[in-house]
Amino acid sequence: MNNEELRLLEEISNSLKAINARQETQELFAESNKLFDRSDARVENATNQIQNTFDRIHDKVFNFNNGLIAAYLLLGSYPSELPILPLWTTVFPVLVMALMIYVDVRQMGIHRFAANEQQWTNAERDSYGAKIDSQTRLSLFSMFLSVCCLAYLVVKLGLA
């Protein structure tokens, strides 16, 4: 073999090494992209699960509050001569229900806002987190008020 053939073989060898390096890099990027895609899918699934859990809890508390309203109405008219509860106290669980409806309406607004996430600015991203935090506190407050209405009912029944 002469020098020209050796030089050509060396160039071919170098080209093959470069092609192999590029192919390995592309394979690594493909694997990384798969990992990121799986991670994104888990994040989206977790977000959906959080929302579903929030909705289920809220539905249960809403139904519980409806039962409280019925109990307040019943005990506000029974016995008819001297009811166990003053009828005007029914206003408390009704106000809690109104607060829960407000929480649900706000939740719809947050979902509408989140639907445009791809057009958000950094300030809007920050405000989204603040909206979620505020919504959580408001929801917990409405649940607390429902428990307070129940406690009042239990105390009044215990005294009756």
* 8 Å CB contact between 104 and 79: no
**Secondary structure letter of residue 80 according to DSSP:** S
pLDDT for res 1: 66
pLDDT digits (tens, 9 = 90+) for 127-155: 888 888 898 899 999 999 999 999 999 99
Other beta carbons less than 10 A from residue 125's beta carbon = 10
All residue ranges of the chain with pLDDT < 50 are none
* Tens digits of residue pLDDT in 11-25: 888 888 888 888 888
pLDDT at 44: 77
Q: Provide the pLDDT for residue 50.
A: 81
User: Is the pTM of the predicted complex or chain greater than 0.85?
Assistant: no
